[in-house]
Amino acid sequence: MAKKYLDNADMARAISRVDGRAKVMGAAKYAAEVQLPDLTYAVLVESSIGQGTITSLDTKKAEWAPGVISVISHLNTPGVPEYKLENQDVIQKQLRVFDDANIYFNGQPIAVVIADTLERAQYGASLVKATYKKENHLTNLESNLSRAAVPKKAKADPKGFTSDFIRGKAGAYKDAAVQVEEEYIQPSEVHHPMELHSIIANWEAADKLTLVDKTQGSQQTAASISKSFQLPVENVKVLATYVGGAFGSALRVWPHEIVAILAAKKVQKPVKLVLSRNQMSYMVGYRPHTLQKVALGASKDGKLVGISHESYGKTSMYEEFTENVLQMTRMMYDVPNIDTKYRIVPLNVSTPAPMRGPGEATGSFALECAMDELSYKLNIDPVELRLINYAAEDPDKKMAWSSNYLKECYRLGAEKIGWNKRKAEAGTVQDGEWKVGYGVATGTFGAFRSAATVKATYKADGSLLLQSAIADIGPGTATAMTAIAAENLGIPPEKIVFQLGNSTFPKAPMQGGSNSLATVGSATVAVCTNLKVELAKLAAQQKSGWNNAVPDHVKISGADLVNSDETSAKVSLASLFSQSGQLEMVISGSAAQGDEKNKYSFYSYSVHFIEAHVHELTGVVRIKNAVSVVDCGTVVSPKTARSQLMGGIVGGIGMALMEEAVIDDRTGRTVNASFGDYHVPVNADIPQMEMLFVNERDEHLNPMGSKGLGEVVIIGVAPAVANAVYNATGIRVRHLPITPDKLI
C-alpha cells in the first residue's frame, strides 16, 4: 500500500511561500519600517515600582530637550473616551493608559515622549523623573497561592474549562492500585517574535484614524480602537500587511497602541512607536507562570481510573486572564472519573496573553509528564499506556470525533524514532559521556472554524486577485490560500495574488487558535465556486453543455474554461470577458460554521518523540532527534505546514530547556528582559527533525478536509523532552526549564 502520510521528501513538489522572496529581499515592509511624511517618534517612560501611585512627574527637562514635541502623562492626556463610559467589561478590563496615577506593575507606561527623531525621543524619555508613593507589591506565584481565586469568567460560564468540574467521582485516583501525585511548574515565557511590536498612528481627520500596526486581527484591532476612541468602525483603518511573528502577543490591543494614538492626537502628526526588545518582555503579554497539581490513578493493567488536576496561573491586578489548561485532561483519555479546578492568582504583573498552544501547552506538560511517571510505576511502555487509554469518542462532550488518527501518530512516530531502542529502565543507556533517553508525549488542540468572506478580482489577462482582512503572522496564510485557489480553479499559483492584513478587506477572524485555514480557506473555496458559476453562466450564453455545469467539474485550463462532464464544451476565457464587456470580474464568496459542532467533537493531534542526550558531568542536554507526527486532516500547503511544525518543535524545545522570564520579587522587575538573557533556542540547539503528517481528511470541518495546525505543533513537545531526559538520567524535572543545574 502506498504511503499516505507526508514526510520531508514530499515537500519538493509543494508550492513555496508566496511572499518568501519579498521577505528575504527586504521588500516586505513591516510596521516599524513604514515611513510617512512628518512622522514623529514616541518612546515610553515606565514606572520603576510595582505598586503604588505617582506623586510627582517632572517632565520639564524632557520638554526643553532638543527635538521634543510633547510629553504626555496622566497629567495632560487627551483622554480615551471609552474610559468615561459606564458598563465596561469588568473581566477583560484593559490597563487604562494615563488615566490616573495608579501603578499596578513595574514597567507600566507612565508617560510618553514624542520627538522629531527616535534618538531625541529616547533621550527625552530618559529625562522624565517620577516620584512615587510606594506600596507593597506581590509578584511571586508560589508564595501567593492563598490569593488564588475562581475566575469571574468561570462563574459566567459554568460549563467552561475554567469552572470546577467533576465527571464521575472526585479524587477517584485515591482508590486506584497505582497512583501518581505530583506538582509541575512552568515559569512565565515570553512570545518574543522577531519583529518588535510597532505601530504608526495617523489621524487623517478629527474622526478618522489609520494605523499601521503589528496585529493578528486587522478588523478586530479596528473594532477595539473604534470602541476606545468612540469612532465609527469604518473610520478606523488598520494595516498589517506583514507581521513578523506574534505567537499570540498581537491578539489584542495593548497600552502602547493606545499611547501612540493619544500621542498622534496630541501632536497632530503621525506617530511611530516601536517597543524595545526589553519592553517586549512585559508590555505585550506572556505565557503565565503556572503551578499544576496532577494526580493519576490506574489499575495494574494500565487502565486509568481517575484524574484530579488543578491549575494555578498568574494574572494582573487589573485584568483576569484565563486559558484552557485543563481542557486536554478532560478529553484526552478514556477515564471515568475526572475532577479539575482552575484558579488565577492576581499579582503586580502585566496581563498575560495566549501564547502558542495557549493553555494546552501548559496543561500537557503536567498531564503528559504524569502519564510518563505512571508508565514507570506500572512498568508499561508509555506509548502502550496511551493506547490502552485511547478514547474512541470524546469522553468530555460524549460525541464522536470528527476524525482522530492518534493511533496512527503513535505508530508512525515510534517507527521513525526507533522507539524499540528505548530501554524501559531509566538511566541505563550510555553513549560515551552522554546518557541517552527517549520520550514521548501527546498534544491536542480544538479545531475551529468561524465566518469569513473573500473577494476575487479575475482579470482578462488571466490573473486572479483575492482579498481578505486576515493577518498572516508567519504560517503562510497567503500561500495556503493561493494553493487552494490554484487547485480549485486550475489557475497556476504564480497568476494568483492573495492580499491580506487590511481591515478594509472582506471579513475575517483573528489569526489565532488555528482557525485561519479552516475559515478563510472555506471562503476561498466559496469564492472560487462562485467565480466558476459566473463563468459557466457566461459560457452557457455562448455554447451548449454549460447549462447544468457542476462547479466542481469546471476548471480553468490555460486560456480556456473547461467542463469535465462535457469535454466538447470548451470556451476561451477571452471570449467570455469580451462577451461580458468587462476587463475584470469581481465576485465574493463567504463561508461560516454550520451545525457540525453539535454533531462532532473537533480536535487536531500531535505526537512528539524525542531522543535526548544528557552529559553525565555537566548536565547539558542535547536533543539528538525529534520526530513529530500531526493529525491536522488534509495538509493543504505541505511546505508551510512543515515549517509550522518545525517552528512548534523548536518552540517546545525552548520551553523545555531554556525559556524562563525571571522577576525579581523585591522590585517586581523582569531581570532577564533582554534577548541575550532570555534564552530561546539557537541553531546549535536544534537537531535534525522529522516532520510527519498523517494527512487523512477530516470530513466535517471544512471543504478542504483540514483541521488546525499552528497551535497543536508545540503542545506536547516540552513533556516529550522532559520524559526523554528522565529516561536518560532517572531525574524527573517537574519545574521547567530543564537547565544543566537541575541534572547534576
**Binding residues vs other proteins (CB under 8 A):** 48, 119, 122-123, 126, 433, 615, 617-620, 622, 657-658, 662, 664, 666-667, 669, 671-672, 674, 676-677, 679, 681-685, 739-741, 744
Sign, CA dihedral 240-188-327-391, equals positive
What is the rounded CA–CA span in Å between residue 573 and residue 556? 8
CB 671 to other proteins: min, Å: 5
3-class secondary-structure state, position 286:
coil
CB 727 to other proteins: min, Å: 21
Q: Cα 69 to the chain's mean position, in Å?
A: 38
What is the rounded CA–CA span in Å between residue 75 and residue 84? 16
Q: Say whether 711 is catalytic.
A: yes
Closest-CA residue to 648 (of 695, 608, 688):
608
CB 744 to other proteins: min, Å: 5
Q: Where are the beta strands (DSSP E) in 275-377?
A: 290-298, 304-316, 337-347
Q: Cα 111 to the chain's mean position, in Å?
A: 30
Closest-CA residue to 273 (of 211, 231, 216, 227):
211
Whichever of 1 and 617 has its CB closer to other proteins, that residue is 617
Whichever of 521 and 681 has its CB closer to other proteins, that residue is 681
Catalytic residue among 46, 189, 408, 711: 711
Helix (H) or strand (E) holding 203: strand 198-205
Burial class (CB in 10 A: 0-12, 13-18, 19+), 134: middle
- The amino acid sitting at 518 is A
What would the grid cell of residue 3 be? 504511503
CB 106 to other proteins: min, Å: 8
What would the grid cell of residue 522 be? 472555506
3-class secondary-structure state, position 486:
helix
Q: How many CB atoms lie within 10 A of CB 83?
A: 16
Beta bridge partners of 271: 40, 201
What would the grid cell of residue 618 be? 555537566
CB 434 to other proteins: min, Å: 12
Whichever of 67 and 244 has its CB closer to other proteins, that residue is 67
CB 531 to other proteins: min, Å: 49
What is the rounded CA–CA span in Å between residue 43 and residue 198? 11
CB 689 to other proteins: min, Å: 15
Pair 335, 165: CB distance under 8 Å: no
Closest-CA residue to 255 (of 511, 47, 501, 470):
47
Point out the residues that are catalytic. Answer: 711
